[in-house]
Homo-oligomer: A and B are copies of this chain.
Amino acid sequence: MKTGIIKPRTLSGFMELLPKEQLIFDRIRDTLSTVYRQYGFLPLDTPILEHSEILLAKAGGETEKQIYRFSKGDTDLTMRFDLTVPLAKYVAKNYSALSFPFRRYQIGKVYRGERAQKGRFREFYQSDIDIIGDGSLALMNDAEIPSIIYDIFNRLGLTDFTIRINNRKVLTGFFSMLNLDDKAEDIMRIVDKLEKIGQDAVAKELQDIGISEEDCEKILTFISFKGTNEETIAFLNHLKAQNDVFNLGVEELTFVTNAIQAYQVPEANLQIDLTIARGLDYYTGTVYETCFNKHPEIGSICSGGRYENLAGYYTDKQLPGVGISIGLTRLFYILNEREYLRQDTLAPADVLVIPMTDDVAPSIRISNAFRKAGISTQIYFEQKKFKAKIGYADKLSIPFAIFLGEDELSEQKVALKNLSTGEQQILSLEDAIQVVTSSLSEKENQSIIDTELTSRSSL
């Protein structure tokens, strides 16, 4: 006996997409993995649950509050809240089985119990790449990362974005020149908020931690320098020779910025920005952020940097690395909400075969042939009115329908209908496969982000 019906609902802060959205989401995710693979990154898939002791080795109070932590039996468990800590554990654990530089990508769900609000998710995909060295890692790797970011967004159809690059040593060195070494971390955390809260608020926060008005002025003037990459590098070189850390930072930044040119990332998409600090104290060199030029309010959609040591909590080995992370769920949410995603170009099938006779065997035979040719094909088996069958294909945006009636079967032909143009042709099986295949390869080249939409509007 049924005991009443439970209202079907999904947890708040947990994204669950309708089929058409899911197709687009998957296309974006697949684009990311394709580019990562093109650059020789290994896939990694670590558990979602780990010993709390492992995940919280480093965590501070803020993280502790936001995590999903619970016990099962005697085991203290935590759901991963990022993909970096599991990577650190993995590399430390499997150190002797890995080849360095170890290049890995991971696209996976992470969990944070943040306050529920629009556009904030508690379960969301992160998409990370990291290159880990054993003892050392060539600086050239820092130059490769922007190229990967560029390729990804370019493939998705985005053009109006900027990869901003900086070097933490430039900042720490500069603060050191002002004799503010002991406050460097705090200053870094505060200036990182510049875009969000503005100059005045940053100045106030800096003064709150005891920075003099004069130093405050100097810091703000320094980080606010605007110019071409060449001009910024000239500006920095002009300040050199006073501090070793600063000098090294300028050299690294110069080297990386020059090296990126070989990757043919347009200067319009890559800019040195001295305000980029990344709040986290584990970045030690190059840092990256990526933003939509006309939507600074969205903040960075792809961030990362160079760190000295990945896995100090789990091993004595020195494992420097460089990496970036894309908040995939958030990126999708933004693009979807602002209607920048091309609608109705993705469908569960390329062809819907509609049998018009009682014997469905010929429909099956023809579908097998289509599938063998790499065409995704569904047969509509249900007993419905003809209009309902076509309506089904329409609603799912399936681009082609094939009708198989007595006439077609006796002539060994198929009736192929292009559902967007309405054009219908009687063709041999081979010709029908040909028509569908060439239409699909045209579509393949369409990016999922609609460039017309993005230029017309403001992304």
Chain A residues engaging chain B, CB cutoff 8 angstroms: 2, 5-11, 14-19, 22-23, 25-26, 37-51, 53-54, 57, 68, 70-73, 75, 77, 88-90, 92-94, 97-99, 101, 103-104, 109, 111, 113, 123, 133, 136-138, 140-141, 144, 259, 262-264, 311-316, 348-349, 352, 360-361, 364-365, 368, 371, 374-379, 381-383, 392, 395-396, 398
Contacts and interface: CB of A to CB of B under 8 A. Distances in A.
B39 A377 contact: yes
Nearest to A6: B57
A45 B23 contact: no
A45 B5 CA distance: 24
A232 B17 CA distance: 45
B44 A19 contact: yes
Given A39-B378, A364-B263, A348 B101 contact: no
A101 B11 contact: no
Nearest to A91: B8
Contact of A49 (B7, B14, B45): B14
A68 to B, nearest CB: 6
Contact of A382 (B38, B138, B374, B376): B138
Contacts of A113: 72-73
A8 B93 contact: yes
A49 B123 contact: yes
A335 to B, nearest CB: 17
A184 B107 CA distance: 47
Contacts of A70: 68, 70-72
A26 B22 CA distance: 20
A101 to B, nearest CB: 6
